[in-house]
Amino acid sequence: MRKKELFDWLKALLVAFGIAFIIRMFIFSPIIVDGPSMLPTLHDRDQIIVNKFIYHLNEPKRFDIVIFHASEQKDFIKRVIGLPGEHVMMKENTLYIDGEEVEEKFTKKNNIHTDDFTLELLPGHFESIPDGYVLVLGDNRTNSTDSRRLGLIPIDQIVGKATFIYWPFERIQIVKE
């Protein structure tokens, strides 16, 4: 009887580890925010859950906060601003998409300043964002390495969407735009 009980426990543990591995690899993953580029939305050392599966079902949406491979060694976390087919411009601290003013609630209420730019002046010198790419910016525009420096981000380099801050305890919340 003892051997069967031990075998049942071992089987249950292996199944649990297998399920946890699949969830961690393909569905959700924890990451730690590194740096101030997403202040005030995300703070340095915030621990968040990333939904890695969502972009297998849907395309990124404007103002999603995404994690992407900036290089082989480094992942960045930024906010999607421009989508395929769009022209993006920032003038006098106002975002324009295809010539229309777009309100950025997360920057206005926190008095964040963004230097003027147009899509044509960014690396790649595009007139509109090509299919398969997005333009990303950090919320803390004065201290962010983003599309203004990196260029447009291939959608297939996006790891997932930031969904939930779980640490520190006083900042537990769902990540919103």
Range of the domain at 97: 29-174
Tokens found for residue 136: 């990303």
Kindly state whether residue 15 falls inside one of the protein's structural domains. Answer: no
**Which pLDDT band holds residue 71 (cuts at 50, 70, 90)?**
confident
**Which pLDDT band holds residue 51 (cuts at 50, 70, 90)?**
very high
pLDDT, mean of residues 87-103: 93
The number of CA neighbours under 13 Å toward the Cβ of 67 is: 23
Instruction: Tell whether the model's pLDDT for residue 96 goes beyond 80.
Output: yes
Measured CA to CA, the distance from residue 176 to residue 105 in angstroms comes to 11
Kindly state whether residue 45 falls inside one of the protein's structural domains. Answer: yes
**Number of domains the chain is built from:** 1
High-pLDDT (> 90) share of the chain, % = 63
Instruction: Tell whether the model's pLDDT for residue 113 goes beyond 80.
Output: no
Kindly state whether residue 73 falls inside one of the protein's structural domains. Answer: yes
- The conformational region for residue 99 under phi > 0 = left, psi -120 to 50 = alpha, else beta, is left
Task: Check residue 137 and give its pLDDT.
Answer: 95
Please list the active-site residues.
37, 78
Tokens 């992942």, residue?
A: 75
Kindly state whether residue 9 falls inside one of the protein's structural domains. Answer: no
Measured CA to CA, the distance from residue 127 to residue 165 in angstroms comes to 36
Task: Check residue 18 and give its pLDDT.
Answer: 74
24 or 137, greater pLDDT = 137
Instruction: Tell whether the model's pLDDT for residue 77 goes beyond 80.
Output: yes
Whichever domain contains 160, its CATH number is 2.10.109.10
8 or 118, greater pLDDT = 118
